[in-house]
Structures are given as C-alpha cells and as structure tokens.
Structure 1
C-alpha cells in the first residue's frame, strides 16, 4: 500500500530553544480516517486538544521528529540561511520515513524550485516520487496538519522543560514576548552569559547583550 508523509516545523523563530521538524506517515488508504480525527493546523488548536490529538496520532500512524538545537542553528547560520537549515531537517525526516508521497508546507516562494532542491539532496530513488509543496499546507492537508501537531507538541514539551529547568515561566521564547526578553536580560546580568539554549545569532540576543553591556558601563 502506498504511503504518504506530511512535514511541518515548529519553533522556527524563537530566540530560546530548538526548532522541530515533524513528520507523520500513514497508508494513503487511511487519509479519510485521519481527516475524521479532526486534525487541523496546530496553531488553531487549544493546548489540551493538540496534546490529545498528538497521543491519538502516535497510535494511528508513524510520527517522525528532528530536533535542531539552538547551538546547531547558530553554527549552521554561519554558512547557510534558516530556510536551508529547515530544508536539511525536512530531508532527514523524508529519508527516515521512506514514504511514496511527501506533502509539506512551502517555506519559500517557488514550489517547483523548492521541490527540486529537496530532490537534489535526496537519494536517486526519490526522483520519481510525488512531492507536493504549498503555502498553507498545514491548513489544507490533514497529513500536514498531523505533522504540525507532532512538531508543535514536541516544541511545547521542550519549552515546558526549560521553564522547569530555570524555575521561570518566560512564556513562548519568541522575541515578541516581554517575559522572554526579561528572562534573558536577568539571566545575563546574574550569570555573565546567556542560557545555553539561546540562539545567539538572533538580533534579539545581540540587542540584549549590548543593552546589558551599556547598563554595566553606567555603573562606573
């Protein structure tokens, strides 16, 4: 029976924590059953429903997960873009799954060029396999919605673990969250360095370092 894989990411933009590439594979004959589970883009689900669906999905099909840590992102960004880092994660999940058809959320403007990039990095056998890459695929294709849920569930668990590690709820870890910025600033002032899970290549981290340096100079 031909298989289909959905792929999506979670945690592309935060200044704290890893990015997760989620994959979800089933037999294509089970697509209607998957839709009946009520999966949708993870951003449109409550935390409770997302976690319930994540548990159901793990029983229903085969999930795949690739974590790309903050350190790895910083190192790779010296030689490639964030889109290229994401593509590397997609490729690893595709190889792990060995699915007959791949559907994924498109992270750049041109779908044909994007698919060609993927195929150029994959083993030769993938040249004849079907790829679908579309903007908003996590909303249109239940298989990608399922992958979105797997990725988002992993990222939320990761952030909760960091909250426990540091004994502080810095919220999402995204730059727009004030508690996130305050946590980084306070940690830097107290420890002389940012937490190891910080993406130091982000402009937010750079601004916080400069801000703390300036306030330190003001003490003299």
Structure 2
C-alpha cells in the first residue's frame, strides 16, 4: 500500500502594488512530516532572507515544492471578473491538482474554512472530493508543512522583487503600498515614462491614485 502524501499550501505577495503573487506548495509522504518540522520551518515570516533561502534548499531534499506565479497583469485581468480570494483559489487548486496529494492543508484567507474548502473542491476534478482538506487561519504557524509552503512562496516572491530592483536600478523596498520608496518609485517612473512599470497592479487603488494625481498635476501645469 502506498503511503499517504500531504501537501501544504500558502501564498506570498497578495497585497503589493508591484509584482506577482506566488502560491507555494510543499508535499511529503506522511512519515516525513517530523523531518520537515525538524528543519525549523515554523514562524517563516520571522526568518532572515539567508535562513529562508537555506531552508528552501533543505526542503527540496526532503519533499517536493510546487510554485504558481500569477503576474500583475493576470491579476488585473482576472479582477475584472472575480475577487482576489477567487484568484487565490485558482492558484491553490492549480498546485493541489499538480501535487495529487491525499491530504491538503491550506492557510485560510477567508473567515469560513468549510466554505473555502467547498469552493476549492468545485474547482478541482471529482477525484479530489473524498480527499482530506484542512483550511485554517495561521496554518503557516500551526502546521510545519504549510510553513514549508510559505517558505517556498516567500523565497520566490523575494527573488522576483530582487530581479525587479535590478531591472530598474532602484531599491523600492517591499513593493507594498505602505512603503514610501515604493510610492516614490512609481511616481518618478510615471513622471519620466508617461506610464507605470508593466509589473504594476494597475487595478490597485494605490496605482489608480498615482495615475490620477499625475494627470491632475499635468493638467494644472498645462
């Protein structure tokens, strides 16, 4: 009898105005769950960049990572017909289907876990209807397999952001709307190029506000 496979799922980059969102998955055989915990993957949000990269490397030796990138332009297009939570569900189910795991544990982005599980099942092939699903808040802290998935997603997101900083020769910090260097970068780029960088989520209110203020400024100057 083949051993049960368990997959953890989490995302990174849900809220930034710059860059892609990444859905990370990590799968192991059930007997290796202690091995994952033994690597010290808990509290993945508190890890230094170096520690996270080291753990991502070690995890690849223990189990199988999965990654789904949803670009800024894809997010913008999809948001015309669905919510961000629904976009996330599509990312989650893409990873779940590819993993073909027997037990699925996800970090819950909505209030109701059972409802979220049913939404995922509707997106998945019928063969997944009788598999075991767990969807909980703070699953990335409570389940090491989800902590591992969080590390895979966060590592991909950080590398993506680093590539963008290199591409534009500007350290815009996190890419989140609360970060002043992020806003400065977008405002300066728009001023110089007449449009926002292609990796900007144009449907974000932050991007809309920057464009509106720039247009108003141009009109005032005119």
Both structures adopt the same fold (TM-score exceeding 0.5): yes
The question of 1:101 aligning with 2:103 is answered yes
Q: What is residue 162 of structure 2 aligned with on the other side?
A: 160
Q: What is residue 184 of structure 2 aligned with on the other side?
A: 182
2:58 aligned residue (56, 59, 65) = 56
* C-alpha displacement of 1:218: 2.4
CA contact (8 A) 1:41 1:149 kept: no
* C-alpha displacement of 1:41: 3.4
Deviation track 1:30-68 (CA, whole Å, cap 9, x = no partner) reads: 011111100023211111111110111111110000000
CA contact (8 A) 1:5 1:103 kept: yes
Deviation track 1:56-93 (CA, whole Å, cap 9, x = no partner) reads: 11111100000000000000000000000000000000
Q: What is residue 48 of structure 2 aligned with on the other side?
A: 46
Q: What is residue 131 of structure 2 aligned with on the other side?
A: 129
Helix, strand or coil for the counterpart of 1:95? helix
Aligned length: 220
Name the stretch that deviates more: 38-47 or 179-188: 38-47
**Could you say what the CA RMSD is over the residues aligned between the two structures, in angstroms?**
0.7
Runs (5+) with no aligned partner, structure 1: none
Q: What is residue 119 of structure 2 aligned with on the other side?
A: 117
Helix, strand or coil for the counterpart of 1:197? coil
> 1-side partners of 2:202 and 2:123: how far apart?
28
CA contact (8 A) 1:138 1:144 kept: yes
* C-alpha displacement of 1:213: 1.2
- Scaled by the length of structure 1, the TM-score of the pair is 0.99
> 2-side partners of 1:217 and 1:108: how far apart?
42
1:3 aligned residue (5, 13, 33) = 5
1:75 aligned residue (77, 80, 91) = 77
CA contact (8 A) 2:35 2:62 kept: no
Runs (5+) with no aligned partner, structure 2: none
